[in-house]
Amino acid sequence: MPRRILEILPPAVAWVALTSPIWAAIVAPDIFGYFLVAFSAYWLWRSIEFTVGLVLGMGRLARAQRRNWAQAGAALHGFSRLHHLVIIPTYKESEELLAETLECLAQQTIGLERIAVVLAFEQRDESAPIRAAALTERFAWRFGEWLVTQHPDLPGEVKGKSSNLAWAARRVEEELMGSDRLDPKHLVVTVCDADSRLDRQYLAALGHSILSHPDGRLHIYQPAILFYANHGRLPLLIRAVSSVFSLYSLARLAATHRLVPQSTYSLTWWVARRVRFWDVDVVPEDSHMFFKVWLHLGRRVRARAIHLPVYADAAEGATTFGTVVSTYQQIRRWAWGVSDIPYLALQGLRARHIPWHIRVARVWWYVEEHLVWPSHWFLLTLGGLVPPLLNPGYARTALAISQTAAVSMLLGLCLPSLVLAILGDILLRWWSDDETNLWKLVSGLAGFLVLPLTGLTMVALPALDAHTRLLFGRSLAYQVTEKFSAADADARGSESYVRAAETPVA
């Protein structure tokens, strides 16, 4: 019962907040006016925080890419003993897409004999053995260890990344650890999506970060995920969405006290083994794994930033409509992280080894993120438009006029953040090798002109969809994930779907 209450509460609060421009304008217009001023001030603070994080992130990204991390790591005791286990869970992604990811991995600046690769296929993927054999022939000889796993559909599991990772980790433990081919004391695990192109210095920088901090082996590491790998193929309507999430991914690395890993991340094998690997009954495996480790091992566990890029594909379909649908579904899946709030809150109550104020802060930061996500567009856009239409009498009062002026001033102060974000997007796309054509760089900015529309359809509504499903006891379960390489896109149109089926919450 407490878990179900905690599942209902965040979506209910989000719905109350986003509908407040309608009901509060009639019931308590003066109180709503003050609330809107306060929320605008909060949004200004978040804009400043985003801008500072973006500027810091871009500077650190540039410095990190210039530094020779292999040379810096060689000066640290134990650097040469570190081995890296890279697990790539995949379901129906093409051979060429996986080959692009593996080729980036083969360009790492550390010795490839220190890299073990696990291609984690799903048994229900009938063509997986063919792709596995082809990729094994092309790449297995280049790495120190190579393992292909086939995850069966097991009772009680959610079909998806988390259960696949758990299966792959157990196969590694049985087949590579048992034969002493890998030393668990000096092993680091990196989880990659099928389209994650690691920077060539990522593993070297990761090893350096682990060894240069007293608690480095307890931390979980997050690179900057930049969705620019297929940016030039995206419809104009979606490009700004891809850019915004890329900019946010970089900016959030500055606030490590509230950072939660996403998509591609790294941790030591000892930590993963200590918490018995990934849970098999969750969808948002990245945030859930971080909270699981933090709750088990205590306050010394931190999410730490690796300021190197991982270039990934934004969701893409064979048609413009297909891309819109795919983007919506992907963002809805990200927003399904709201389902981790009950786990974090309830397990946090039991984690007495962590000071109470740290537990409260961690829960609050995560709840805040997921409450603002579905509601901010409605408050910022409709909050100033709807109340005067519903309550014109109050809109003409001196108090309402002063409140409106305060909101306009506060939101106007957010505009420099938007300008800096646009400039940052140009620079990041220029730094990526995907777009160096000046016309493409400039024309990509046109997507920001429709940001109010895409902010509703591709940011707020997918999150609201996820919240509403949780509110009514529905869940998201992986069904199909298809991704294609650039070569595939040229030949047949790229399609990247993350579909979800409605299933009752247990």
Residue by residue, DSSP assigns 333-399 as HHHGGGGGHHHHHHHHHH-TTS-HHHHHHHHHHHHHHHHHHHHHHIIIIITTTHHHHH-HHHHTSHH
> Cα Rg for the chain, rounded, in angstroms?
23
pLDDT at 471: 94
Q: How far apart are CA 481 and CA 501, in angstroms?
A: 13
Return the closest-CA partner of residue 484 out of 160, 178, 97, 162.
97
Concatenate the DSSP letters of all residues of 122-136 into one string.
ETT-TTHHHHHHHHH
pLDDT at 181: 77
pLDDT at 480: 41
User: Which pLDDT tens digit goes with each residue over 190-238?
Assistant: 999 999 999 999 999 999 999 999 999 999 999 999 999 888 888 888 8
SS (H, E, C) 32-45: HHHHHHHHHHHHHH
User: Which pLDDT tens digit goes with each residue over 305-337?
Assistant: 999 999 999 988 888 888 899 999 999 999 999
Total residue count of the chain as it appears in this document: 506
Whether 203 contacts 110, CB under 8 Å: yes
Whether 478 contacts 157, CB under 8 Å: no
pLDDT at 22: 95
User: Which pLDDT tens digit goes with each residue over 32-89?
Assistant: 999 999 999 999 999 999 999 999 999 999 999 999 999 999 999 999 999 999 999 9
Q: Where are the alpha helices (DSSP H) in 222-268?
A: 236-251
Per DSSP, the three-state class of 145 is strand
Q: Which superfamily, per CATH, for 79-318?
A: Spore Coat Polysaccharide Biosynthesis Protein SpsA; Chain A (3.90.550.10)
Whether 464 contacts 147, CB under 8 Å: no
Q: SS3 helix, strand, coil % of the chain, rounded to 5?
A: 65, 15, 25
Angle at 420 between CA 414 and CA 425, to 5 degrees: 130
- Cα 167 to Cα 123, 153, 277: the distances in Å are 11, 10, 9
Q: Which tokens sit at 387?
A: 């109340």
Name the burial class of residue 235, with classes exposed (0-12), middle (13-18) and buried (19+) by CB atoms within 10 angstroms of its CB.
middle
CA quadruple 450, 456, 460, 462: dihedral sign: negative
pLDDT at 179: 65
Q: How far apart are CA 376 and CA 362, in angstroms?
A: 21
Q: Which positions of the chain have pLDDT values less than 50?
A: 479-482, 492-506
Q: How far apart are CA 222 and CA 277, in angstroms?
A: 18
Concatenate the DSSP letters of all residues of 424-451 into one string.
HHHHHHHHSTT---HHHHHHGGGGGGGH
